[in-house]
Amino acid sequence: MEDKLKIPRHIAFIMDGNGRWAKKRGLPRKFGHKEGAKVLRMIVEECKNAGVEYCSFYAFSTENWKRSQDEIDSIFDLIKKFADEELDKYADAGYKVKCMGDISVLPEETRNSLIKIVEKSKNNNKMIVNLGINYGGRAEIVNAVNYILSQGLNKIDEQMLSDCMYTCNMPDPDVIVRTSGEKRLSNFMLWQSAYSELIFIDDLWPDLKKETLYKIFEEYSKRNRRFGKE
């Protein structure tokens, strides 16, 4: 008998390959991000339908400031558009939006739209949509340690550090998926990925389909998670 499909409780996506998707078509990179934003919406919906409880997405890293201003602007415009357009839809669908990363330095309109959707959706409980924006795993750990030091403590433990991460109250990702064939984490969820299953797929993010998501679930179902046990 075929094994039952296991649906991860928390799935995290490193949405990579937007630029290459656009380049293949002779388009500016921002068109890849635009297409990528559509796929993000689709994946949110399909993850919810499948019964995922937490869905994390890497949308902008602390290193992505190295890109051209034009590309950076286009990404923040898309994030604002996403937050504005999903505001009512997410309230109805029951999604709760969370942000991880330092959004205080984002353009004001983008930041305000994000704050609005986070606030409006805070009591929802259908699925958590956790957006990594100006997020870096190392910065997150350093911030957590600095916070603990500011409380006058001089000794920390793992639980304390976990509680000071953006992901406090969230389980660690069961699986981290990266698209576009790159096999690295690029500073994503460094603390939380200790026991995550890693799945690398060759499709560029804008080419991701519902069927690919189910292939990911199939692959995840085959993994034997031991957590150090025999």
Q: What residues make contact with ligand IPE under the rule CB under 6 A?
A: 14-20, 58-61, 64, 75, 180, 182, 184, 186
Catalytic residue among 3, 64, 112, 124: 64
For residue 186 the two structure tokens come to 């690029």
* Residues 6+ away with beta carbon under 8 Å from 42: 208, 210
Among ligand IPE, Mg ion, none, what does residue 113 contact (CB within 5–8 Å per kind)?
none
Residue 59 Cβ vs ligand IPE, minimum distance, rounded to whole Å: 6
The answer to whether the Cα torsion of 191, 196, 199, 205 is positive or negative is negative
* Residues 6+ away with beta carbon under 8 Å from 10: 52, 53, 54, 55, 56, 170, 171, 172, 173, 174, 175
Residue 64 is a catalytic residue: yes
Is residue 96 within 8 A of residue 129, CB to CB? The reply is: yes
Among Mg ion, ligand IPE, none, what does residue 218 contact (CB within 5–8 Å per kind)?
none
Among ligand IPE, Mg ion, none, what does residue 133 contact (CB within 5–8 Å per kind)?
none
* Cα–Cα distance for residue pair 101/184, rounded to 1 Å: 19
Residue sitting closest to ligand IPE (CB): 19
Residue 39 Cβ vs ligand IPE, minimum distance, rounded to whole Å: 11
Among Mg ion, ligand IPE, none, what does residue 119 contact (CB within 5–8 Å per kind)?
none
Residue 221 Cβ vs Mg ion, minimum distance, rounded to whole Å: 28
Candidate residues 11, 13, 14, 16; the one interacting with Mg ion per rule CB under 5 A? 16
Catalytic residue among 3, 16, 102, 187: 16
> Which residue, 60 or 220, has its beta carbon nearer to ligand IPE?
60
**Is 86 a residue that touches Mg ion (CB under 5 A)?**
no
How is residue 104 annotated by DSSP? G
The number of angstroms, rounded, from the C-alpha of 53 to the middle of its chain's C-alpha atoms is 13
Among ligand IPE, Mg ion, none, what does residue 128 contact (CB within 5–8 Å per kind)?
none
* Cα–Cα distance for residue pair 128/173, rounded to 1 Å: 12
Residue 88 is a catalytic residue: no
Residue 185 Cβ vs Mg ion, minimum distance, rounded to whole Å: 13
The helix/strand/coil state of 181 is coil
> Which residue, 60 or 90, has its beta carbon nearer to Mg ion?
60
Task: Write out the DSSP string of 15-41.
Answer: ---HHHHHHHTT--HHHHHHHHHHHHH
Residues that bind Mg ion (CB under 5 A): 16
What residues act catalytically? 16, 64
